[in-house]
Structure 1
Amino acid sequence: MALALFRKAEIVPPADIEAASLRSDRFRLEREVDWQRLDAIVTALEKGRPRAISDDDLLDLPVLYRKTASSLAVARETSLDAAALDYLEALVRRAWFQIYGPRVGFIGWLRRFFGGGWSTSVRAIWLDICIALAVSVAGALVGWLLVARDQEWFYALVPAGMAQGRVPGASREVLQEALTHDGSTEGLTTFAASLFSNNTGVAIMAFALGFAFGVPTLLLLVYNMALLGAMLWVFHDAGLGYEFGGWLSVHGTTELLAIVLAGAAGLHVGRTMAFPGERSILAAMQAAGLRAAQVMAGVALMLVVAGLLEGYARQLVESTEIKYVIGGFMLTLWVLYFLGMMRPPESEGEA
């Protein structure tokens, strides 16, 4: 009995098959002209021949894409023949890539990034940079004053692993050893690696914490720069402030600027969340996120450059004056780039 019912359900009347075939043919005939036009336009774009496309076809491209996408949805719902369904899926996929897909490759993206995209994003968050810079300077001043008033504050601000014996009351010889290269880089490299690792982590955290309305970002900048201010006071108290400034400036002008930019990027996101203006929070966050992400891509590059300067230039240069020259040159180079490199033409109209 069950087998008989199964066989009965398995049989499809010829009339139904013919009706389904007619519906499929009618569906294709009514829309095939638009599909062919879209196919021809997409093929010309894929072959890099946009001039072969007429103005009418180019203007109709979005409309043709939407019609074809609609046809695909109908084809899926009505279970039309597999050949038509496969053709429409492939055509819609190709058209989507030509209309909405990325317009440039990686090399083109790099050209736009260094050709003004990065600097434009940095200039767009100038207010946040001013705030982050002011907070950073204030943090360094606070660290200096706290340790100058009570040396116990040094141990509260500077981790023991970073200090490596370079603490208040240390002899001038011990501190001098950290600033000279005698062929053995053990002590200097340890301290330098600790500083670089700390500053890289601070840059990442300063950006990530910006989503909490920027408050943790500001606190992190204050603490990090207070640490630096405490260390500056130790060397200054031993009469090595000038030497320590030169030692730090080789990579510090790049590294500390990167931290300020990272903090500004995080602050920009947080400030946009709190004050989206006339736009919706989602729209404001999208624009702010794009700018901040581009700034952070540049920050990553700056940290790599700082690491190279820290690992090589500072080790090879003995003269304090030349160290200041290198640090000043790098700072001037970054500032001139951010202020002078204009927005690339192809990015006009971006948020």
Structure 2
Amino acid sequence: MSSSATEPRNTMRSFRFRTEREKGWKELDSLITRAEAAGIASLSYEEAAALASLYRQAMNSLSVARSISMDKALLAYLDALCARAYLVVYAPQESIRGVVVKLFTRGIPQAVRRSSLPLLIGFMTMFMGAVIGYVMFLQNPDWYFSFVSPGLADGRVPGASTEYLRSTLFDHDDRNGGTLGVFASFLFSHNTRIAIFIFALGIFATFPSFVLTFYNGLMLGAFFGLFAQAGLGYELFGWLSIHGVTELSAIAVACAGGAQLGLAVLLPGNVTRREALRRASPDAVKLMILSGLMLIAAALIEGFLRQIIQVTEVRLAIGWGIGAMWLAWIMLAGREEETTS
């Protein structure tokens, strides 16, 4: 049979094939267009069910059209229609905003609760370091120089007068916004480096992370011992609390995130170390994100509020009040999903 006789027959067959099914294709195209513009959630239950059914029919039509060699224009149309329907039905529908909201309302709090043991160990490690640093300082003040760097000490060293130590806690000098902003920026940079270092060290069998966290506790204990010996323990506690509740918690959270990775390498269980590390990574990353957020908050508090607020009781209320809000978010957010799952 000549090609001139075949072409009219193929054209007629394509026309009949299209006429019989075109109504469903147009309906599918309309539903896809709406879903692309406003999301799949904009469709009713009946429309979503129709979309799935029409998508299957369109795929079947595409398969038949390919098998009987329909004209190229029809094949191209069905290819494009089915591709768009696939993206609407199967592609992730969450926007960036939705992903961020989900991270903060469920992802981070649930990751912290799943990491309760390494988190508890991180806090206990810092607390033990603080107790030991305090006791060692009382026994021999020279230990202070081993734990506290000269830059951090800033003249607050054994032998300093009570008046000078008090002046470092209650600074009544006028500070403009620019000076406080620079100070906050410096503190954020410094604290972030510490947290990242602690987190990164965790992969080496977790031990170095806990050592660095313990060292931070030693420094804190020696620092507290210096002021307590001068009769300023309560005032220092308030001075530290306003930002330290958030800042020290951030360091413990970073330690727990590093420990998650280290424990996956050290104790992989019944899977390979690579697989164990892959499974531990999502929670560890969420903990590091939380640590970063807490460090930003701590730097702002330390750079601004602590310099402005000069009343110990107010410092205590702000510091522990903010700590209570962090705890409430971590303990309560995302509970509904855990209950229903």
Question: Once the 2 structures are TM-superposed, how far is the Cα of residue 335 of structure 1 from its aligned partner?
Answer: 1.8
Given residue 126 of structure 1, which amino acid in structure 2 is its aligned partner? S
Q: Aligned pair 1:338/2:330, yes or no?
A: yes
Residue 73 of structure 1 corresponds to none
Q: Is the 8 A contact 2:112 2:330 kept in 1?
A: yes
**Alpha carbons of structure 1 residues 319 and 240: separation in structure 2 relative to 1, 3 Å:** same
Q: Aligned pair 1:58/2:61, yes or no?
A: no
Given residue 329 of structure 1, which amino acid in structure 2 is its aligned partner? G
TM-superposition CA deviations, 1:253-305 (whole Å, max 9, x none): 11111111111111112112222334444443333211122222222222222
Residue 260 of structure 2 corresponds to 268
TM-superposition CA deviations, 1:14-54 (whole Å, max 9, x none): x9xxxxxx9xxxxxx9xxx9xx7997875564254364656
Question: Once the 2 structures are TM-superposed, how far is the Cα of residue 184 of structure 1 from its aligned partner?
Answer: 3.9
Alignment of 1:103-118 (within 5 A): 103-106=94-97, 108-118=98-108
Question: Once the 2 structures are TM-superposed, how far is the Cα of residue 193 of structure 1 from its aligned partner?
Answer: 7.0
Residue 303 of structure 1 corresponds to 295
Distance of 1:82 and 1:340 partners within structure 2:
56
Distance of 2:314 and 2:239 partners within structure 1:
10
Distance of 2:204 and 2:80 partners within structure 1:
43
Question: Once the 2 structures are TM-superposed, how far is the Cα of residue 126 of structure 1 from its aligned partner?
Answer: 0.3
Q: Aligned match of 1:214 in 206, 218, 227? A: 206
Q: Aligned pair 1:226/2:218, yes or no?
A: yes
3-state secondary structure, aligned to 2:172:
coil
Question: Once the 2 structures are TM-superposed, how far is the Cα of residue 205 of structure 1 from its aligned partner?
Answer: 1.6
Given residue 95 of structure 2, which amino acid in structure 1 is its aligned partner? V
Question: Once the 2 structures are TM-superposed, how far is the Cα of residue 98 of structure 1 from its aligned partner?
Answer: 5.2
Residue 183 of structure 1 corresponds to 173
Q: Aligned pair 1:154/2:148, yes or no?
A: no
Alignment of 1:1-351 (within 5 A): 43=33, 45-46=35-36, 48-49=42-43, 51=45, 55=49, 58=52, 92=83, 95-96=86-87, 99-101=90-92, 103-106=94-97, 108-185=98-175, 196-343=188-335, 345=337
Q: Is the 8 A contact 1:217 1:266 kept in 2?
A: yes
3-state secondary structure, aligned to 1:318:
coil
Distance of 2:58 and 2:215 partners within structure 1:
55
Q: Is the 8 A contact 1:115 1:341 kept in 2?
A: yes
Distance of 1:324 and 1:57 partners within structure 2:
58
Q: Is the 8 A contact 1:38 1:64 kept in 2?
A: no
Given residue 266 of structure 1, which amino acid in structure 2 is its aligned partner? G
**Alpha carbons of structure 1 residues 318 and 215: separation in structure 2 relative to 1, 3 Å:** same
3-state secondary structure, aligned to 1:182:
coil
Q: Is the 8 A contact 1:117 1:347 kept in 2?
A: no
Given residue 146 of structure 1, which amino acid in structure 2 is its aligned partner? M
Q: Is the 8 A contact 1:112 1:344 kept in 2?
A: no
Gaps of 5+ in 2: 4-9, 11-16, 64-71
Given residue 270 of structure 1, which amino acid in structure 2 is its aligned partner? G
**Alpha carbons of structure 1 residues 95 and 314: separation in structure 2 relative to 1, 3 Å:** same
Distance of 2:33 and 2:157 partners within structure 1:
70
3-state secondary structure, aligned to 1:277:
coil
Question: Once the 2 structures are TM-superposed, how far is the Cα of residue 199 of structure 1 from its aligned partner?
Answer: 2.8
> Percent same amino acid at aligned positions?
31
3-state secondary structure, aligned to 1:122:
helix
Question: Once the 2 structures are TM-superposed, how far is the Cα of residue 197 of structure 1 from its aligned partner?
Answer: 4.2
Distance of 1:330 and 1:94 partners within structure 2:
48
TM-score, normalised on structure 2?
Answer: 0.74
Distance of 1:281 and 1:198 partners within structure 2:
33
**Alpha carbons of structure 1 residues 82 and 127: separation in structure 2 relative to 1, 3 Å:** farther
TM-superposition CA deviations, 1:228-255 (whole Å, max 9, x none): 1121111112221111111110111111
Aligned residues: 316
Taking only aligned residues, the RMSD between alpha carbons, in angstroms, comes to 4.2
